[in-house]
Amino acid sequence: MEQAEGKNQNLADKQIALAGGGTLKFTILTSGGYGVQIQSQGVNVLLNTGAGWGYEMTPVELTKKDEFYSIYWKEYNAVKNGMNSELKELPDYLEKRPVFEAKA
């Protein structure tokens, strides 16, 4: 990107405006090279720190996620409670492992 612009300016000093209203920033990694940060409305929409890609949800997305899971668990529990006693007694692994949701 630096060569294409014909400048020797450090990429970490630049902020590039994106068409959707976000900004693209580059960070200098301690391991060498650049990381990437795409921000929109103060939220890191996409982030690469050299160890992989990550993201954050906007407040609207978090609200929708909470709404989805409240409906999902309500229906799940209604179906489970309507089953025979053998199935009802099975352990509910997903409800006991909130880490699963974060990794999924």
Q: What is the pLDDT of residue 92?
A: 66
Contact 49, 34 (CB under 8 A): no
Q: What percent of the chain has pLDDT over 70?
A: 70
**Secondary structure element (H or E) that encloses residue 46, with its range:** strand 43-48
Quick: pLDDT tens for 28-65.
Answer: 888 888 888 999 888 888 888 778 888 888 888 899 99
Q: Model-level pTM?
A: 0.50
pLDDT tens by residue, 78-88: 887 777 666 66
Query: At CB < 8 A and 24+ separation, what contacts does 42-48 make?
Result: none
Q: Which residue has the tokens 């409906």?
A: 71
Q: Give domain limits for the chain.
A: 2-54, 59-103
Coil, strand, or helix at residue 59?
A: helix
Q: What is the dihedral of CA 62, 68, 70, 71, to 10 degrees?
A: 160
